[in-house]
Structure 1
Amino acid sequence: MRLIRYLFLVLLAICLVVVATANLGPVSVTLLPNDLATYSGFQVTAEVPLYVVGFGGMLLGLLVGFFWEWLRESKHRSVASRQRREAARMQRELDRLKADKRRNDGHDEVLALIEQNGSAR
């Protein structure tokens, strides 16, 4: 299975290199449309190879997708965190009850409660 994964990655890398070398021509990338740029007085233009635009778009799409998924799963993470805290609290309570039972082993629980209430007076 590892061999298949490495073979796939090598083929993907070869395809990306072929696409990049086929699209070396420069293109002009502008930040804002012309009408908005003249209105705002802010215009940024860059000359970059076409493959940079394509790969940059894919990378930006991946980052936006990862961020969107992280936001979407935040409620699941908060529920899991709350359940972990509750499980830890229940485990502590169980350990305390087991320790109490070991201390009172051989004694009747009702008598132990009566003795506790009698000694508390």
Structure 2
Amino acid sequence: MRYIRYAFWAVVGIGLISVAIANRGIVTLHLFPEAISDLLGLNHNISLPLFIVILMSVAVGLLIGFVWEWLREHKFRSEKNRTQKELKNTKREIRRMKGSQKEHKDEVLALLDETG
């Protein structure tokens, strides 16, 4: 199984290296379109190799997906926590009720209940 994992990461690495080599050209990213940047007076831009832009966009997309899924599953996590709290309270109540029943029983029967 370990070799399959190594092979997978080797293929991913080779793929990333080939994307980087094929997309070495420099591109300029602008914060706003030219008409809006002229209107606002903000002309922020940055020049990067294309493969960095591709890889960063994939990383940002994954991050947005993870956050979206985490927010979507919030109701399931809260339901699980509520259910666990109810289960804990129920177990505590059962222990308390068994303890009060032992006070009214014979000592021998109480010991048999504990072992059985």
Structure 2: gaps (5+ residues): 107-116
Residue aligning to 1:60: 60
Same amino acid, percent of matched pairs: 38
Give CA-to-partner distance per residue, 1:20-46, whole Å, 9 cap, x none.
Answer: 022111000111111221222222100
Question: Structure 2: which amino acid aligns with 1:26?
Answer: I
TM-score using structure 2 length: 0.86
Residue aligning to 2:36: 36
Name the larger-Rg structure. 1
> What is the aligned residue count?
106
Give the distance between the partners of 1:85 and 1:40, measured in 2 at CA. 55
Give CA-to-partner distance per residue, 1:79-101, whole Å, 9 cap, x none.
Answer: 01111111111011011011111
Residue aligning to 2:77: 77
Give the distance between the partners of 2:29 and 2:9, measured in 1 at CA. 30
CA RMSD of aligned residues (A): 1.0
Give the distance between the partners of 1:35 and 1:89, measured in 2 at CA. 63
Give the distance between the partners of 1:101 and 1:43, measured in 2 at CA. 79
Does structure 1 residue 88 correspond to structure 2 residue 88?
Answer: yes
Structure 1: gaps (5+ residues): 107-121
Give CA-to-partner distance per residue, 1:50-73, whole Å, 9 cap, x none.
Answer: 001100110000000000000100
Give the distance between the partners of 1:77 and 1:43, measured in 2 at CA. 44
